[in-house]
Amino acid sequence: MTTTSSGTLDVMAGTPDDAPTVPGGSRRDDPHEPDAEVRYTIDELAGLSGVPSRTIRFYQSNGTLRPPEKRGRVAYYDSAHLDRLRVIADLQERGLRLDAIREVLSRMEAGRDSLQGWLGVGDELQAPWLDERVTVLTHEDLETRFADLRHGFIARLEQANMIERQGNTRPPTYLVRSPALLDIAVRLERAGVDLEIAFGASEIMRKRISRAAEELVPYFAEHAGRGFGRDGNPTDVAAAYQSLRPLGLQAVQVIFAQEMERALRQFVESGQVLSRSKSQSRSRSRR
């Protein structure tokens, strides 16, 4: 049982021990049969696939690639090995670790998934959640945007890693990885929330949301086909994940608002607002 690069499964016939050798080191069941299977030595397979021989042997040793057929002291590979190596390379380019690749290939061989179906889900899961692009701004651009803000604001942005100077260019240019977060920081600064306070708050939020995301991903995967993604086929699962983008972002906004309301209400009811305000007033009067 083998898997082709298109994700379909084929059954391959065995090769007789007396299969004749054809030019280039490949072998056929019968050289006169147009559909006879071509065989490759490991060096030929490496040349055709672009995968080094030592890597091919490593794939064999950990079960990612099935063993070759031995003829005496020589190992021969077939087109299924070549297809498998191409699939492995494709999945690695998409960021999969080798243990995950073995799982995907195992599910394909068992008939539970197709390659194209899995790739569709994989692409869907890795699609951006925000339409945000990294941008580059000059020092003049930043000075124009932040002319009304306190002196040294650009340097403080750089210290907070919200902008990153590019090399030693003159005039200097800055990489902005998240223009949306930069815009929020600027608006908060104008509203009286110092950049350092805003950045500290964002780190608190990121830490908690990061943990929530790491718990949610396996939670949804666990329930695929059982309340998440209808029947659990690739199309349904991809659609379910796709719905999480706009609705998940809305849910975070709503839940955050609810929790901030609760926490602020408790803060006020505890009397801490007045006690802290009086304490700060006394501190200023002593200066």
Residue at 133 is within a domain: yes
Spatial neighbors of 230 by CB under 8 A, at least 6 apart, are 236, 240
* Both structure tokens of 250: 């809305």
Q: Which of 79, 105, 126 is the last residue of a domain?
A: 126
How many structural domains are present in the chain? 2
Q: What is the pLDDT of residue 7?
A: 40
Q: What is the pLDDT of residue 32?
A: 45
Q: What is the pLDDT of residue 159?
A: 92
The 10s digit of each residue's pLDDT in 212-260 is: 999 998 899 888 888 998 887 778 888 888 899 899 999 999 999 999 9
> What mean pLDDT is predicted for residues 42-63?
92
Residue at 243 is within a domain: no
Q: What is the pLDDT of residue 26?
A: 53
> What mean pLDDT is predicted for residues 141-147?
91
Any idea what the CATH number is for the domain that residue 23 is in?
A: 1.10.1660.10
Q: Which of 98, 126, 154 is the last residue of a domain?
A: 126
- Would you place residue 276 in the very low, low, confident or very high pLDDT band (cuts 50, 70, 90)? low
Q: What is the pLDDT of residue 129?
A: 85
The answer for 2, left when phi > 0, alpha when psi is -120 to 50, beta otherwise, is beta
Domain that holds residue 215: 128-222
- Name the E strands within the chain: 2-3, 9-10, 69-71, 74-76, 135-138, 164-165, 173-176
Residue at 193 is within a domain: yes
Exposed (0-12), middle (13-18) or buried (19+): which is 62, by Cβ within 10 Å? exposed
> What mean pLDDT is predicted for residues 14-19?
38
Q: Is 38 in contact with 44 (CB distance < 8 Å)?
A: no
Residue at 280 is within a domain: no
Q: What is the pLDDT of residue 13?
A: 35
In this predicted structure, the answer to whether residue 115 has a pLDDT above a threshold of 90 is: no
Point out which residues pair with 228 in neighbouring strands.
224
Range of 3-12, 36-45, 251-260 with top mean pLDDT: 251-260
Q: Is 134 in contact with 176 (CB distance < 8 Å)?
A: yes
Burial of 255-283, coded b for 16+ CB within 10 Å and e otherwise, reads: eeeeeeeeeeeeeeeeeeeeeeeeeeeee
- Would you place residue 5 in the very low, low, confident or very high pLDDT band (cuts 50, 70, 90)? very low
Q: What is the pLDDT of residue 17?
A: 37
**70 and 39 within one domain:** yes
Please state, in angstroms and rounded to a whole number, the distance separating the CA atoms of residues 270 and 272.
6
How distant is the alpha carbon of residue 74 from its chain centre? 40
**99 and 59 within one domain:** yes
Mean pLDDT check: name the lowest of 117-126, 166-175, 185-194.
Answer: 117-126
Strand, helix or coil at 95?
Answer: coil
Percent of the chain with pLDDT over 90: 45
**81 and 27 within one domain:** yes
In this predicted structure, the answer to whether residue 23 has a pLDDT above a threshold of 80 is: no
**166 and 107 within one domain:** no
**180 and 101 within one domain:** no
**98 and 13 within one domain:** yes
**133 and 193 within one domain:** yes
Residue at 238 is within a domain: no
Give the CA distances from residue 219 to residues 34, 185, 215, 223, 243, in Å, rounded to whole numbers and listed in that order.
51, 33, 6, 7, 16
**10 and 111 within one domain:** yes
The full DSSP string for 253-268 is HHHHHHHHHHHHHHHH
Q: Which of 165, 194, 222 is the last residue of a domain?
A: 222
Residue owning tokens 């396996």: 218
- The CA angle 175-201-268, to the nearest 5 degrees, is 155
Mean pLDDT check: name the lowest of 8-22, 146-160, 214-228, 262-276.
Answer: 8-22
**167 and 213 within one domain:** yes
In this predicted structure, the answer to whether residue 4 has a pLDDT above a threshold of 70 is: no
**142 and 34 within one domain:** no
**145 and 214 within one domain:** yes
Residue at 115 is within a domain: yes
Residue at 52 is within a domain: yes
**146 and 97 within one domain:** no
Residue at 256 is within a domain: no
